[in-house]
Amino acid sequence: MEKKEVLYEGKAKIIFETSEPGYLWVYFKDDTTAFDGLKKELLDDKGVLNNHISSIFFEFLGANGIPTHYEKLLDERSMLVKRLEIIPVEVIMRNIAAGSMSKRLGIPEGTNLKHPVMEYCLKDDALHDPMLNIHHIYALELADKEEMENIQEQAFRINEMLVPYLEEKGIALVDFKLEFGRHPREGIILGDEISPDSCRLWDLASGNKMDKDRFRRDLGGVTEAYREVLKRLKKDES
């Protein structure tokens, strides 16, 4: 397996072509950004931590019937994934009110929601990822009804699996972002990453933040929090 030319470079990852058709090499960077890139910093080993945390989540979900693009770890900062046609719709699952939801709806941060909430955003950095509803998705032909029903079902199943999985490790899954893509043989499957960059994770005992909000809100200890997440995820691995 050879890493070839850069296909895409984002804020947190670089995607490379590989010598094997249908597969991509994902490299996790130490770059950390917030507020559409207005705030930037290099945090040592953040890419290493996100690579390993994402691999654990993908392996757990795959073992429990959720199809993902993940194949294997390649090195400390890289994983091999199946090539997907990414659907430009970010899916946000919320279990506890926080961040933009608290601001928009006036709900105090930390309020437990009576039912998980699913939201959609257009995956477009230039437009600052605006919120969508299902009718926007159909009108803009971002995905069809069958695809969105599949995505909705998978997203709720993922949430139902991850909430107790993390609670066992002393972590509350506040909210998280998912991205899905089309695979020529497997249909709609989970892509991108699942890490403290894309999730809000709070310590169950103290309520301390263990995610990217530590960077957004100048709380410090970002990599230390990510390292603690990885430590807890690895603790009970068989």
Q: Which residues contact 13 (CB under 8 A, 6 or more apart)?
A: 26, 27, 28, 29, 193
Q: Is the pLDDT of residue 135 over 90?
A: yes
DSSP 217: T
Residues 210, 220: contact at Cβ < 8 Å?
no
Q: What domains are defined for the chain?
A: 3-82 (3.30.200.20), 85-220 (3.30.470.20)
What pLDDT is stored for residue 236 in this prediction? 65
What pLDDT is stored for residue 238 in this prediction? 47
Q: Scan for tokens 């899916």, then name that residue.
A: 91
In the predicted model, what is the mean pLDDT of residues 168-188? 98
How deeply is 114 buried, as exposed, middle or buried, from its count of CB atoms within 10 A (0-12, 13-18, 19+)? exposed
Q: Is the pLDDT of residue 46 over 80?
A: yes
Q: Is the pLDDT of residue 235 over 90?
A: no
- 20: three-class secondary structure by DSSP: coil
* This prediction's pTM: 0.95
What pLDDT is stored for residue 34 in this prediction? 84
